Amino acid sequence: MHSDALIARIKSMATQNPIKPPQPPQTVPDRDAGGTVVLERRTQKVAPPQMYQVVMLNDDYTPMEFVVVVIQEFFGKDMEAATQIMLKIHLDGKGVCGVYSKDVAATKVDQVLEAAHKAGHPLKCISEPVDF
Ligand code: TYC
């Protein structure tokens, strides 16, 4: 290259923005290659699961004390809370002992009915969807 041309080239390299070298093609990050995949947040969330309340029913024969113990034992209430729930059932005919997923509510019903049956009491309870 002629020395004038070389000097002009060097001056141009010193004053101009560098020419961007060709870029490799953009690839989608790959999980298997250890890339991080960022998903867009969904605008609509999945609905929460339907919950079920365990409702205990009044009868004329089951002793109040038995009902209080059952509510403490299977629904995790202390004696005061269990007594209040029992009295509500006694006065209103029914009352909610707890709210659970469908499977757990069904298990609670089974446990109460088995305990009542074993003790010879007619105590009944059911589970129903919340907002029934
Ligand atoms: N009514 C019962 C009584 O007078 C007491 C009772 C309370 C029974 C709640 C059932 O779910 C019940 N001995």
Domain-embedded: residue 91: yes
Distance 60 CA to ligand 1 centre (A): 6
pLDDT of residue 123: 99
Of 86, 87, 112, 113, which is best to mutate to test ligand 1, by the most ligand atoms within 8 angstroms of its C-beta?
86
| Band of pLDDT at residue 107, cut at 50, 70 and 90 | very high
Ligand 1 atom at shortest distance from the alpha carbon of 95: 11
Q: Confidence class of residue 132 from pLDDT cuts 50, 70 and 90?
A: confident
Pairing of strands 52-57, 94-100: antiparallel
Q: Which domain holds residue 93?
A: 61-129
pLDDT of residue 116 exceeding 80, the answer is yes
How close is the Cα of 92 to the center of ligand 1, in Å? 11
For residue 39, pLDDT beyond 60? no
Give residues with Cβ within 8 angstroms of 71, minimum separation 6.
56, 77, 81, 82, 85, 86, 97
Give a yes or no: residue 27 inside a domain: no
Confidence bin at 49 (pLDDT 50/70/90): very high
Pocket-forming residues, ligand 1, beta carbon under 6 Å? 56-60, 62-64, 67, 86, 89-90, 123
Look at residue 3 in the predicted model and tell me its pLDDT: 52
Nearest CA to ligand 1 atom 11: 58
User: What do you get for the CA distance between the two ends of the chain, in Å?
Assistant: 91
Whether 13 is in a domain gets the answer: no
Where residue 4 falls among pLDDT bands split at 50, 70, 90?
low
How many whole angstroms separate alpha carbon 104 and alpha carbon 112? 12
113 occurs within a structural domain = yes
Number of domains in the chain: 1
Higher pLDDT, 15 or 98: 98
pLDDT at residue 15 tops 70: no
pLDDT tens digits, 57-99: 999 999 999 999 999 999 999 999 999 999 999 999 999 999 9
Amino acid at 9: R
Q: What CATH number did the domain enclosing 72 receive?
A: 3.30.1390.10
